A and B are shown apart, each in its own frame.
Chain A
Amino acid sequence: MSSSTENFIQGEVKERIDRWIAEYPEDQRQSACMPALRIVQECHDGYLTTDLMDQVAEYLGMAPIAVYEVATFYGNYNHQPVGKYQINWCNSISCYLRGGEELREKLEEKLGVKTGEVSADGKFSIKKVECLGACGGAPICKIGKDYHENLTEESLFKLLDELE
């Protein structure tokens, strides 16, 4: 997938970023760096490239290195292609205590994908993340923007089967 990213920040992408810029004081455009990266990533099949980060830097008047720092510090930015559905799997204690790890192994088996990899058809990738702040519903995962709680092998597989 080598979509051209020349002038990526225009049209809807630009409008969305501008709305975030307006949330901060006028002389603090840099504050919109995180939302800008998120929006650009969302509109670029879920991952960032150096070129895209450079465009964010230019748009916000930041040094490119400052944007790279942000983009690599925070766990939700991806720097490699991801699946159409990225399964963010909680790895932390409450999910672990309720069988999260065993369930992730079954998930890997079912999809034929290891954690950190993308399935051959590009449909799924699994990413291990730390506590998602919904431990009462353990074990849980987040796909796209949605949380899926109290997962069992059955409910998880059903969920996956329903994804187009």
Chain B
Amino acid sequence: MVYQNENCFRLNHLENSWDIETYVANGGYEVWKKVVSGELEPADIIEEVKESNIRGRGGAGFPTGLKWSFMNREAPGQKYIVCNSDEGEPGTFKDRDIHRYNPHALVEGMAIAGYVIGASQGYNYIRGEFWEPYQVFKNAINQAREAGFLGKDILGSGWDFDLHVHLGAGAYICGEETALIESIEGKKGQPRFKPPFPASYGLYGKPTTINNTETLASIPMILAKGGKWFNDLGVKNAGGTKLYSVSGHVNNPGNFEVRMGTPFKDLLELAGGIWKGRQLKAVIPGGASTAVLPAEKALEMNMDYDSIAKAGSFLGAGSVIIMDDQTDMVKAMKNLSHFYWDESCGQCTPCREGTGWLYRMLTRIVDGKGRPEDIAALKDVSGKIMGNVICGLGDAATIALTSAVEHFEHEFVHYIEHGCSIYDRT
């Protein structure tokens, strides 16, 4: 049996799950009350979060409890909690649904995180296209304020905390945490060098903690039921539940909240199996930034960090892109390469120029004008980007492509030799 909807999506089946009444009727804001009343101390919260073994759900998988412990709560001066809801990785659409169906979990999670790190102000960076999710979230902020859960002197505790939204305007790179900070500051979203990490130099130069939407929305339940509860839902090295966005060639695409370590096969079944009665060809398990896996490897893996790594890819943001046995891998990679070329912020030469090279070469191959040396050139350009750039976008631009060439090289060769796809044979 596959367990579903035990944390962020636990209210999704209820009518008006986005409403504060529903949330409160189901135990919402109880943790927050304990926090502001001093019953739950910041140090204890960090211990619980560490014990839960939750790792950053934005894709990098950094342990959340550890990240929070980098902040010095008692240090004087403004600090910030920032939520990353820029969600732009092709294949990723989970944070949108957290906003739409459980916005109060996010409000409560941000408030708790803010308290723990000593931040009286929080920003939720929502991508500008998410107008409806933004409206739902804004309504949740207003409801929480009215109920006295946000604002000045919360529930008579003497603690102030308020939430704001910053809307993006169509730039994937702003999901990278330092680009996101630049963007809130009213600048182009170009990543900064790390270190310094945001914990020491963040928004407006102040100590800042940035977490993904799903990470923060998971916190209230972790503290309500205990870190151990959450950890035990998952597997070694991967505590809890995770939202998986399943898209592509399945009958029933969508978000599924399941336990870490759920077999890929079971997830595929939840998503209705491969469409049109076809067979599975390949899977990108963690969003466009992660390596492509051929069917036989994917079918053996479980959905957790270690198992996916063993299969040769990465859990990333849990964005599972399914490709059926009619998928032209070369064209699919051309599509991905266009994305990175379009979204490169342009400040590192290898990324700015290299992503253009990759896209142009793949276009040429698909157009039937590929040259024998092109496969080596794709590898060569990828190698020159990898590791020689400021942020993860440049590296990501090469990862899926390199793995596709590794596993499906014959398709690239066929294109170059025959000027058409293996599926074009008549």
Contact = CB atoms under 8 A, between A and B. Distances in A.
Interface string A63-83: 000100110011111000000
A23 B165 CA distance: 8
Given A34-B169, A131-B172, A136-B246, A93 B187 contact: no
A98 B187 contact: no
Contact of A93 (B169, B253, B321, B343): B321
B204 A25 contact: yes
Contacts of A136: 93, 245-247, 253-255
Interface residues of B, number: 55
B247 A135 contact: yes
Contacts of B336: 93
Nearest to B97: A136
B57 interface: no
Contacts of B345: 73
B185 A133 contact: no
A33 B188 contact: no
B68 to A, nearest CB: 23
A9 B129 CA distance: 24
| Max count, chain A CB within 10 A of own CB: residue among B91, B169, B327, B336 | B169
Interface of A is mostly: mixed
Candidate in B93, B255, B343 with the most chain A CB atoms within 10 angstroms? B93
Contact of A74 (B171, B338, B342): B171
Interface in B213-256: 245-249, 253-255
A34 B186 contact: yes
A94 B129 contact: no
B368 interface: no
Given A97-B248, A130-B172, A131-B90, 17 more contacts: A23-B165, A35-B167, A62-B186, A70-B186, A70-B188, A74-B189, A77-B170, A91-B339, A92-B335, A93-B321, A93-B332, A97-B321, A97-B332, A133-B88, A133-B92, A135-B91, A136-B255
Interface of B: 78, 87-93, 95-96, 127-132, 164-172, 183-189, 204, 245-249, 253-255, 284, 288, 319, 321, 323, 327, 332, 335-336, 338-339, 342-343, 345
